[in-house]
């Protein structure tokens, strides 16, 4: 069957170049998001049912249709055509083909704007829940590995030069605390986005159609209804940005860890290693064992933030009212979330496998690391700090 | 007196080009921050006093010296020399010049790293408190102005084309809700940064020197001590970034409002205006009244995010352990905060002054805005939504 | 057949999560680039042949094999397995499977580093050539359309307020000049990248293997050999960035045009329009005709620059010597090029179709646009400019 | 004397908050640029003189006044008041105060738009000329230092792991080639911006006033007149961006060098060092010698690109016609140029001072670096590359 856009103009087809340019990858991206659309569509149908827009029979058909769709999505059998543009149209067409007039009623009281937004909002809530679990696992991993190596001394560096003594345990413990704080930040930020935009339609509600938006709020387990319909529209892209910002510290801390690992696994430092299953080789140099995984991690933290900034740039350029470039925020959002998830999963896998080269670390605990302790021996014996510092410095450089 | 860096090497002076390149503007920026350094230095002195590092007399001198410094800072009389690099050195030198050995003791148990961090942390807490007050005032302003114009109809736009009817009240109300949510986000995020880094020294504590860091935590009213000393170091730049991210939605929403105002004040729309005190003229065109203020606002929201991203880029590039580029995060942070504050203040000033051109708005409420209502009249009389949509569309385009 | 990485370690398989994380999309992206790899591989083989590393028979086999590959690529029948990582490995494996030992010789004197770089370099040269053609067509389109409407008056705006009279022809002519200058910039920048990196191997050449790199330079029509092998490596990402920077003005000017079109097609301005084949509709508002295509264009110019910046961020973070995050520059580069190409193609298609609403433009030529001309009438009659300005201003506002 | 904006509205003063927000730092930034404004103003006066708008006496006064201003600027005695907004107003007011009516004529035929643009354009041309000289010096420095150390072996790294042998000479030679290519790119890009915008006024020319713009083009030594007046306006920000893009590779290569230096000067590598005049110390650790200068350089390359992107973000957001946010492009442009210049100057100073630790480098030339050479010994004796690779690999890992 030849699908068409539901808004198809009377006077002819959309130019194919314009269609390709404006539809973009949405019909592919939506395959992953469609389950949230189905969930929200069911809640919307329940509200229409309570208003008698949908009869009991209609409601039964829609329940059946949507649960069938949910299964298709789970089995990756649900395919959206480019000409359908997005899952919103595909769902309506599925219901109409199968149940006739019932399908033609499902879009009552909503627009693709709020339909898309509520879908994304449910996805965001899932992201926050999942990421918190991932983060908590990762925190536990760092904590355990940190304890395991708490007694192994390690040089502390500032400016990439030996500074003062520390331990592998303290070093890993810093990452534990960092990721633990992100988990808190995520749980706070969740409150910001936990608002139901469904029923705001195109950003103006519908003045001659009475809906009780709180019905879908409750059914979809939102903390509250996002009242002002224009504000619902304003939050598109903005909320995506806030979600990525909340996860940003996790990526920044991952970058720091990757940088540390890349330095400490050089043959010149040789403090740490990973088993061969985590390293790669070279097409011409037989001897190589490379820690590419941390290089990609380092790069991915930049890709993540660039995707976040893509969203920011887009939303900074426009006034109120839905504009189509907002659609372009979907792809970088999904990609960024995937990068974040795979990075945290990989860390959880690798951190416990770190091999600590105690001999090399011991050899690296050279005298210069303890110079500041000499200053404090003098402080402890009554000398002022600055005099002690100057005295030790004079000795050191003479 | 010729000041010198407190870490001055034995064997000669720092090359002046290197000094200029590495010190940057810190000695200027710190003038605004020094009051937080003084506050934290006093708390640090109290801890040293409790440890008997400072005698009762020492403590009295330091109290006197620091309160004198605080007054100088308030009166903008406190000047930091480039050769002193930052306010940390300047404060120690002030105390030493005035009280001799007492000054040489104040740096005991701390490094410029944690001294700088605790200063910034106190500044951040102040920012969050102030911004919340500013935001709350702004929310109230939008709310009142929204109520004032709740009955004035206004075309709702999507894709910059007339879509459906709305009102000036709903439009302003969207901004009220947006800024109100930011205020919530700020109050949540405050918990993330409310940790005391003082006593972490250079990121490794000091193993042969026992300090009770909770003393300064209590004295400076932090929610907790940031335990792991390396994590204290990791949070440099990272926390600055999180603060700017929390305020980012305020800037994004300001950009949206500026974009709306620029459109609605064109002579072609002419829905809104501001009194002459808010508009500027041209050097060659006598008739001009320009809304530059919203153009600068639009631009400033981009500058703000670019400054935030500057911090992000810097911290993404480095591993654990203090590295000097972290110092470069100070300037964009302070500048971004100033942009945010002045933008919100200006909105608070201008929003109540908006002039609504009711005649023009009425004339703009053309029939096309009500086409969707015709669809819903049919829906209300029992037609399915999609059939109603098609029927109205056919009529409209024939 | 089960493919394996050519660098496969002796002691076991790469962890599948690490493989997925590090290989990324390269095996998909390379499908579009493989033809350049084939071309460079043929040149490389000729050099090996001239050195007698390849016999005449070897050379014949490789020629046959590579031309067969080239056909497969053209027909989109060439498939790279994720486990092969990239087209470089796939090509070697293809030749080895088909011709035995000959395939095992093709990698002599090169590494995947220089193989990948020369492939990208040839792609870049193609991009510049194609884009220049596209730009020249676009310049011609703007020029013709500009001439067509050279006599239709149009208000000139500054600060989004009416400023002085101009014409549709001058407005379109500005775009013509803008794109024309980009074409020049592209032709200059081509010289920067026109250097052959093949033979630099992993960035260090091969000290006990003598190659005449100028042979491939001539065969592949490069302006010169990129001598220093480490510099070849440094140019990875850097040259990609320079290519995207050279095209950046084209995207910036497209954004400007899109912004102009979005303003001038609002029903409130209504100066310009496009035929229905270029506009889209709404899922709930039957009357809508939206210029989404310009909203997506506006958004795409931001995506383009964000992709460019992704490359920049990655290369700014690393020292000399190949590091794996450089691989992440490939995807944003290809995506950005596609965005640029489709944007310019679309403009070429749409600009001649612009509908000029002369009546609306005439009505918009209000008196305020001519106030500055009154000033100049006074100047032409001998008054100083500033006095004339003041006099006219006083009249205007009284 | 109380200065006022030359466009001062009839009906009262600009609100001071709006004034502070919109004027920004322009009155400070312009102090450095005013000499270009004076130069262009003189050329403009000559054109007005040729048109008889200025009498011979007028012209003599203006010549005298402008050369006096030029001296004041050189001696840093020229001060612009915030209320004057910019140097354009300050120059007109200076001439009017001193010579009466003559000053009131100087703005004839121009606007602050083209006056500001021609000033910036002259500044850009100077930047390109100066930077090319700086780059050429730097290239020579790298070349000489590279030759000096051409025979000192150095491990080549990929993935931060030892790869193959190279030399200090090759390593430094890579930077020589990199900076040399930038110098070429700069000379090509100069052609793009070498266009005279003076006379385009506010972007629309002046229809009832005839000017020969080629007079100022010749006098100011521009390659051509930028014809279309709207395109002149479009190039604001755009040309600044292109200038920064052309210098971007210099900053990227500097970042790479800084990263290399930071790694090779760690005590764990210890390949290279700099004399104490280039290193700094610590406020608590007496033994420290830090290479902060390269950390700041690494950070500054990010700041540079963030400033470039600030300009990009601003210009991407607006349609044709001057809008005030374009003014915000001035500050990041000037700051970025200063960062670039000081970075290149510092490299020129430091590169010849690099201390090469031959003993450490010799010790680092371990066997693994020569494994690939073993492969090529087998290739040279007739084995296929891939078989040789496999054989050597088997031996290495057994």
Structure confidence by residue, pLDDT tens digits, A171-227: 999 999 999 999 999 998 999 999 999 999 999 999 999 899 999 999 999 999 999
Q: Report pLDDT digits (tens) over C316-338.
A: 989 999 999 999 999 999 999 99
Rounded CA-CA distance D299/D277 in Å is 21
With a pLDDT cut of 70, the percent of chain B lying above it is 97
In this structure, of B18-22, B69-73, C307-311, D52-56, the range with the lowest mean pLDDT score is: B18-22
- What is the mean predicted confidence (pLDDT) over A270-284? 90
Chain C interface disruption, residue of B156, B160, B289, most C CBs within 10 A: B160
CA distance B295 to chain D (A): 5
Q: Please, what sign has the CA dihedral across residues B125, B126, B127, B132? A: positive
Rounded CA-CA distance A347/B149 in Å is 54
- Could D324 and B201 be called an inter-chain contact, meaning their C-beta atoms sit closer than 8 Å? no
Confidence of residue C134 (pLDDT cuts 50, 70, 90): very high
Q: Which residues of B touch A189 (CB under 8 A)?
A: 185, 188-189
Rounded CA-CA distance B81/B77 in Å is 13
Q: Report pLDDT digits (tens) over D211-241.
A: 999 999 999 999 999 999 999 999 999 999 9
CB-nearest to D293 from B9, B11, B18 is B18
CA distance B79 to chain A (A): 22
Pairing, β C161-167 against β C195-196:
unpaired
pLDDT(B11) > 70: no
Q: Which chains touch A (3 or more CB pairs under 8 A)?
A: B, C, D
For D385, the closest chain A residue by CA position comes to A284
With a pLDDT cut of 70, the percent of chain A lying above it is 97
Per-residue pLDDT at B2: 42
CB-nearest to C283 from A12, A107, A295 is A107
- What is the mean predicted confidence (pLDDT) over B292-305? 97
Per-residue pLDDT at D4: 54
Rounded CA-CA distance C258/C277 in Å is 17
- Could A188 and B188 be called an inter-chain contact, meaning their C-beta atoms sit closer than 8 Å? yes
Task: Write phi, then psi, for C196 (nearest 5 degrees).
Answer: -90, 115
CB-nearest to D203 from C9, C158, C208 is C158
CB-nearest to A286 from D157, D287, D371 is D371
- Sequence-separated contacts (24+) of D61-66 with Cβ below 8 Å: D61/D95, D61/D98, D61/D99, D61/D102, D62/D95, D62/D99, D62/D102, D62/D106, D65/D94, D65/D95, D65/D98, D65/D99, D65/D102, D65/D103, D66/D38, D66/D41, D66/D42, D66/D91, D66/D95
Q: Which residues of D touch B285 (CB under 8 A)?
A: 202
CB-nearest to A277 from C12, C285, C342 is C12
CB-nearest to D162 from A267, A292, A392 is A267
The three state secondary structure string of chain A is CCCCCCCCCCCCCCCHHHHHHHHCCHHHHHHHHHHHHHHHHHHHHHHHHHCCCCCHHHHHHHHHHHHHHHHHHHCCCCCCCHHHCCHHHHHHHHHHHHHCHHHHHCCCCCCHHHHHHHHHHHHHHHHHHHHHHHHHHHHHHHHHHHHHCCCCEEEEEECCEEEEEEEHHHHHHHHHHHHHHHHHHHHHHHHHHCEECCCCCCCCCCCCCCCCCHHHHHHCCCCEECCCHHHHHHCCCHHHHHHHHHHHHHHHHHHHHHHHHHHHCCCCCCCEECCHHHCECCCCCCCCCECHHHHHHHHHHHHHHHHHHHHHHHHHCCCCCCCHHHHHHHHHHHHHHHHHHHHHHHHHHHHHHCEECHHHHHHHCCHHHHHHHHHHHHHHCCCCHHHHHHHHHHHHHC
Rounded CA-CA distance B172/B211 in Å is 54
Rounded CA-CA distance A321/C263 in Å is 14
- Could D321 and C157 be called an inter-chain contact, meaning their C-beta atoms sit closer than 8 Å? yes
- Could A266 and D160 be called an inter-chain contact, meaning their C-beta atoms sit closer than 8 Å? yes
Mean pLDDT of the residues in chain A: 93
Q: Which residues of C touch A6 (CB under 8 A)?
A: 283
- Could A302 and C279 be called an inter-chain contact, meaning their C-beta atoms sit closer than 8 Å? no
- Could A160 and D265 be called an inter-chain contact, meaning their C-beta atoms sit closer than 8 Å? yes
Per-residue pLDDT at C85: 76
- Could D282 and A392 be called an inter-chain contact, meaning their C-beta atoms sit closer than 8 Å? no
With a pLDDT cut of 90, the percent of chain B lying above it is 83
For D191, the closest chain C residue by CA position comes to C185
- Could C208 and D96 be called an inter-chain contact, meaning their C-beta atoms sit closer than 8 Å? no
In this structure, of A73-82, C66-75, C121-130, D353-362, the range with the lowest mean pLDDT score is: A73-82
- Could D111 and B282 be called an inter-chain contact, meaning their C-beta atoms sit closer than 8 Å? yes
ipTM score assigned to the predicted complex:
0.94
Q: Report pLDDT digits (tens) over C218-234.
A: 999 999 999 999 999 99
Chain C interface disruption, residue of A25, A252, A295, most C CBs within 10 A: A295
- Could A296 and C325 be called an inter-chain contact, meaning their C-beta atoms sit closer than 8 Å? yes
Taking only the tens of pLDDT, chain D with its 398 residues reads 344 565 555 456 888 888 888 887 777 788 879 999 999 999 999 999 999 999 999 999 999 999 999 999 999 888 888 777 788 888 999 999 999 999 999 999 999 999 999 999 999 999 999 999 999 999 999 999 999 999 999 999 999 999 999 999 999 999 999 999 999 999 989 999 999 999 999 999 999 998 999 999 999 999 999 999 999 999 999 999 999 999 999 999 999 999 999 999 999 999 999 998 999 888 788 888 899 999 999 999 999 999 999 999 999 989 999 999 999 999 999 999 999 999 999 999 999 999 999 999 999 999 999 999 999 999 999 999 999 999 999 988 87
Q: Which residues of A touch C276 (CB under 8 A)?
A: 9, 11-12
Per-residue pLDDT at C2: 43
- Could D286 and A372 be called an inter-chain contact, meaning their C-beta atoms sit closer than 8 Å? yes
Chain A interface disruption, residue of C13, C15, C93, C328, most A CBs within 10 A: C15
How many beta-carbon pairs under 8 angstroms link A with B? Answer: 286
pLDDT(B95) > 60: yes
Q: Which residues of B touch D88 (CB under 8 A)?
A: 283
- Could B389 and C284 be called an inter-chain contact, meaning their C-beta atoms sit closer than 8 Å? yes
Task: Give Cβ neighbours of residue D129 (< 8 Å, ≥ 6 apart).
Answer: none
Q: Report pLDDT digits (tens) over A60-108.
A: 999 999 999 999 999 988 888 877 778 888 899 999 999 999 999 999 9
Instruction: Give the domains, in start order, of chain A with CATH numbers.
Output: 16-105 (1.10.275.10), 112-211+221-364 (1.20.200.10), 367-396 (no CATH)
Q: Which chains touch B (3 or more CB pairs under 8 A)?
A: A, C, D
Q: Which residues of C touch B285 (CB under 8 A)?
A: 158, 163-164, 371-372
pLDDT(A2) > 60: no
Q: Which chains touch C (3 or more CB pairs under 8 A)?
A: A, B, D
- Could A174 and B385 be called an inter-chain contact, meaning their C-beta atoms sit closer than 8 Å? no
For B279, the closest chain D residue by CA position comes to D14
Per-residue pLDDT at B12: 60
Per-residue pLDDT at A271: 97
- Could D252 and C316 be called an inter-chain contact, meaning their C-beta atoms sit closer than 8 Å? yes
- Could C310 and A302 be called an inter-chain contact, meaning their C-beta atoms sit closer than 8 Å? yes
- Could C170 and D252 be called an inter-chain contact, meaning their C-beta atoms sit closer than 8 Å? no
For D276, the closest chain A residue by CA position comes to A397
């Amino acid at each position: 069957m030849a699908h068409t856009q539901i808004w198809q103009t009377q006077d002819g087809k959309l130019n194919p170049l314009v269609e390709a340019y404006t539809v973009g990858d949405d019909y592919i991206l939506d395959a992953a998001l469609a389950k949230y659309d189905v969930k929200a569509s069911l809640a919307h149908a329940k509200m229409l049912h309570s208003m008698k827009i949908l009869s009991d029979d209609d409601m039964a058909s829609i329940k059946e249709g949507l649960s069938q769709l949910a299964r298709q999505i789970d089995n990756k059998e649900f395919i959206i055509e480019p000409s359908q543009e997005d899952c919103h149209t595909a769902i309506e067409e599925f219901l109409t083909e199968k149940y006739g007039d019932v399908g033609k009623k499902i879009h009552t009281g909503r627009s693709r704007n709020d339909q898309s937004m509520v879908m994304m909002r449910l996805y965001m809530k899932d992201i926050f829940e999942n990421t918190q679990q991932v983060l908590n696992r990762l925190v536990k991993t760092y904590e355990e590995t940190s304890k395991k190596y708490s007694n192994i001394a390690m040089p502390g560096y500032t400016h990439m030069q030996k500074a003062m003594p520390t331990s592998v345990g303290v070093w890993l413990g810093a990452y534990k605390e960092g990721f633990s704080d992100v988990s808190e930040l995520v749980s706070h930020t969740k409150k910001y986005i936990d608002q139901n935009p469904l029923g705001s339609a195109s950003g103006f509600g519908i003045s001659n159609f009475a809906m009780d938006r709180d019905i879908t709020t409750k059914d979809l387990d939102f903390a509250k209804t996002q009242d002002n319909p224009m504000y619902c529209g304003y939050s598109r892209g903005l909320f995506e940005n806030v979600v990525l910002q909340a996860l940003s510290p996790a990526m920044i801390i991952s970058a720091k860890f990757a940088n540390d690992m890349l330095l400490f696994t050089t043959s010149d430092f040789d403090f740490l290693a990973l088993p061969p299953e985590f390293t790669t080789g070279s097409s011409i140099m037989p001897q190589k064992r490379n820690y590419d995984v941390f290089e990609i991690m380092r790069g991915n933290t930049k890709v993540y933030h660039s995707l976040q900034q893509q969203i920011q740039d887009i939303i900074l350029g426009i006034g109120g009212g839905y504009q189509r470039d907002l659609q372009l925020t979907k792809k970088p959002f999904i990609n960024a979330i995937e990068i974040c998830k795979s990075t945290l999963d990989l860390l959880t896998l690798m951190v416990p496998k770190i091999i600590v080269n105690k001999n090399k670390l011991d050899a690296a605990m050279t005298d210069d690391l303890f110079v500041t302790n000499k200053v404090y021996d003098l402080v402890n014996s009554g000398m002022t700090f600055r005099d002690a510092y100057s005295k030790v410095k004079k000795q050191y450089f003479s």
